[in-house]
Amino acid sequence: MDTITLKELRRELEDKSIRAKILIEALPYIRKFAGKTVVIKYGGHAMVDDALKESFVLDIILMRYVGIRPVVVHGGGPQITNTLSRMGIKPTFVNGQRVTDDETMSVVEMVLVGTVNKEIVGLINRFGGRAVGLSGRDGDLIKTSRMKIYKYSGDERPPEIIDIGRVGRVEEVNIDVIYALENAGFVPVIAPVGVGPDGTAHNINADLVAGAVAGSLKAEKLILLTDVEGVRDSDERLIRSMSIKDIDALIDANVAKGGMIPKLKACKKAIKGGVKKAHIIDGRIEHAILLELFTDSGIGTEVTDG
């Protein structure tokens, strides 16, 4: 005989009522986003903590099950740096971009495409989803040109051009490859490696790849996972909502700096390309994607065109 006290029963019913309310709150958003593409940049602590990895994968699978079409673009900077260190190669950065010579590019491609991408695809498939891994070289998915870094001396002399090697700037995204996978029910998982005009591989900032992919697809949303609560103002307060018109001012005033700069630039590029909203959210929170998509208040910083 299975029994329960009345106090335990009331507590159980209260818990179930809370879950039901959560589902009811999510329902209009599920209806709104069904059939729409959402591009997610996966990076930061969410890629190294086992509980957060599982949380991320389950979010992606649930999105696909309710009819949303997630596209994942992942980073892997810390993994690349660790591998280079084990090989005795000291990484060098200029303006936040990794200087990438031929040897470094081989490591970048090995880590991003051969290790990180495979792990993400494997996790999605193991937990019941259907994912396919890609790099920008597959089907000429991401065509790039060499990125140039300019150093200004402050006088009237022309700027110095700094060679940072095989670092790419996205020129074109072949969305037919992504559509083919989406229409077949797969989740595309994209490593940020592009292909130059001469067929060589280029290392690309994953945030900028995500912004370019989202803009090319005219996605409903771009969601960037990071290791902070979102974008902060000069008083360290979280900015809940902002316009792309605010981005340059935050960067010029040195309020937004470091890794937040490519994220904001990715949001700007995506929205100018036709994405309705972009979000910079804290990937250290379990099920951060679902909280952003399916709750009234959301989390993090929302970036809009207005």
Describe the strand order of the beta sheet including 168-173 as a list of residue ranges. Answer: 168-173, 142-146, 193-195, 201-203
The predicted structure's pLDDT at residue 128: 94
The pLDDT of residue 34 is: 92
Q: Which residue has the higher pLDDT, 223 or 159?
A: 223
Task: Tell which phi-psi region holds residue 155, choosing left (phi > 0), alpha (psi between -120 and 50) or beta.
Answer: beta
Distance CA 109, CA 216 (A): 24
Cβ(279)–Cβ(272) under 8 Å? no
Q: Bridge partners of 195?
A: 143, 201
Mean pLDDT of 121-144: 95
- 39 or 27: which carries more pLDDT confidence? 39
Determine the 3-state secondary structure of 184 from DSSP.
coil
Residue 174 pLDDT > 80: yes
Q: Which fold has domain 36-238+257-304?
A: Carbamate kinase (3.40.1160)
Q: Model confidence at 204, in pLDDT bands (50, 70, 90)? A: very high
Domains of the chain, residue spans: 36-238+257-304
Distance between CA atoms of 290 and 60, rounded to whole angstroms?
Answer: 9
* pLDDT bracket for residue 272 (50, 70, 90): very high
Q: State the Cα–Cα distance between residues 53 and 57, nearest whole angstrom.
A: 6
8 A C-beta contact, residue 71 and residue 188: yes
Residue 144 has pLDDT above 80, yes or no: yes
Q: What is the model's pTM? A: 0.89
Burial of 183 (0-12, 13-18, 19+ CB in 10 A): exposed
> Residue 131 and residue 52: Cα distance in Å, rounded?
18
